[in-house]
Chains A and B, each alone.
Chain A
């Protein structure tokens, strides 16, 4: 059981941290819980399909299929997060002011929120497909059903508990800064996912490494430790990144920051007259 618990925990932790950031970023959106749960359900179903089709995927692109698939899933998530943060950069303030009411901003942004919830599904799919392959093997090796179920339950609850702790911590951020913080977290998450995607493409020699170990801090903080893994999701920490991974990270940061600035300027200019700041706005509620 320890082996099952530990592997399930490690995989669930990564997905749970991503989900908790997204839950925080979609705070105050009506019907969010249903959509997050739907995203998780879709992700689990997707994980089963990917695990069953793993042989087919692996054989694509003359053996590079697995790496291309992983990179594609990650880059799709980056694209969706990017779209959302750029949209949020102009509507975050409205969202914060209308926390309790269904503002027009939320309606306008529901497509953007759906994108973000697809990220939940992608995160679960990616980590989940590995869990499924592992559990297939475990069941073949004659582990009892009770042991297996116990290990899965422990692993999931451990990972989910840490994700929930992060979520509760984020909720303590004052509402005036709340969406600024969640937006920054989403940008860092996206940058980290992009650099992980680059890693997959380097591993199958589809991208040049541009220096395979720019630095090596694995002795200080291993990617495999709980803290290393957590920072890996939150800020994209990698103990021994390739040059191209750093390039992907910085490019994502630069593109999203530029996109947010551009969107802010584009939206603020025409709407300055329409949204009168003196009007009685509902005060943010905590």
Chain B
């Protein structure tokens, strides 16, 4: 009885783990009026994540971070996907290269 429940728990845990491994955490950012929404994004440390960035403005933007080394143009009314990490815990800046005065954000890795 105890053994079988242990086996069941192990099998369940394995499935949960496999599910976590298969589903990369996904996050979204929206650019509107040349501002990132949200401007602070929390992602887990030590895990690769999939970031969707949607540009709702009528002009192009370039999602860029020199802290975590990414740059990708997001055309007007389009979405892109950028894979990030795995990163060490910390705070990383990102910005919109085409509107640096307003498009600023922080990636909080914890």
Q: A and B, one complex?
A: yes
State in angstroms the CA–CA spacing of A228 and B69 once bound together.
13
Which A residues lie within 8 Å of B72 (CB)?
66-67, 203
B88 at the interface (CB under 8 A from A): yes
Among A218-239, those with CB < 8 Å from B are 218, 222-224, 228, 238-239
Which B residues lie within 8 Å of A203 (CB)?
70-72, 82-83
B98 in complex: contacting residue of A63, A137, A202, A209, CB < 8 Å: A137
Which A residues lie within 8 Å of B58 (CB)?
140
Among B28-80, those with CB < 8 Å from A are 48, 50, 58-62, 66-73, 75-76, 78, 80
Pair B73/A55 contact, Cβ less than 8 Å:
no
Pair A212/B85 contact, Cβ less than 8 Å:
yes
Pair A224/B75 contact, Cβ less than 8 Å:
no
Pair B82/A66 contact, Cβ less than 8 Å:
no
Among A51-103, those with CB < 8 Å from B are 54-55, 58, 63, 66-67
Pair A3/B59 contact, Cβ less than 8 Å:
no
Pair A240/B75 contact, Cβ less than 8 Å:
no
Among A1-59, those with CB < 8 Å from B are 3, 6-7, 54-55, 58
Which B residues lie within 8 Å of A6 (CB)?
100
What mask results when residues 186 to 220 of chain A are scored 1 for a CB within 8 Å of chain B, else 0?
Answer: 00000000000001001111000100110010100
A58 in complex: contacting residue of B62, B66, B75, B83, CB < 8 Å: B75
Pair A213/B82 contact, Cβ less than 8 Å:
no
Chain B, interface size: which category? 20 to 34
The distance from the CB of A11 to the nearest CB of chain B, in whole angstroms, is 9
Interface size in chain A (residues, C-beta < 8 A): 36
The distance from the CB of A80 to the nearest CB of chain B, in whole angstroms, is 23
State in angstroms the CA–CA spacing of A136 and B76 once bound together.
11
Which B residues lie within 8 Å of A213 (CB)?
68-69, 87-88
B81 at the interface (CB under 8 A from A): yes
Pair A199/B60 contact, Cβ less than 8 Å:
no
Which B residues lie within 8 Å of A175 (CB)?
none
State in angstroms the CA–CA spacing of A134 and B87 once bound together.
30
A141 at the interface (CB under 8 A from B): yes
Pair B75/A55 contact, Cβ less than 8 Å:
yes
A241 at the interface (CB under 8 A from B): yes
Which B residues lie within 8 Å of A205 (CB)?
48, 50, 83
29 contacts between A and B (CB under 8 A): A3-B100, A3-B101, A55-B78, A58-B75, A58-B78, A58-B80, A130-B62, A130-B73, A130-B97, A133-B60, A137-B59, A137-B61, A137-B98, A140-B58, A140-B59, A202-B83, A203-B70, A203-B82, A205-B48, A205-B83, A209-B86, A212-B48, A212-B69, A213-B68, A216-B88, A222-B66, A238-B69, A239-B66, A239-B69
Q: A205-B48, A224-B66 are in contact. List 5 more A-B contacts (CB 8 A).
A: A58-B75, A203-B71, A205-B83, A216-B88, A223-B66
- The interface of chain A, by Cβ under 8 A from chain B, is 3, 6-7, 54-55, 58, 63, 66-67, 130, 133-134, 136-138, 140-141, 199, 202-205, 209, 212-213, 216, 218, 222-224, 228, 238-242
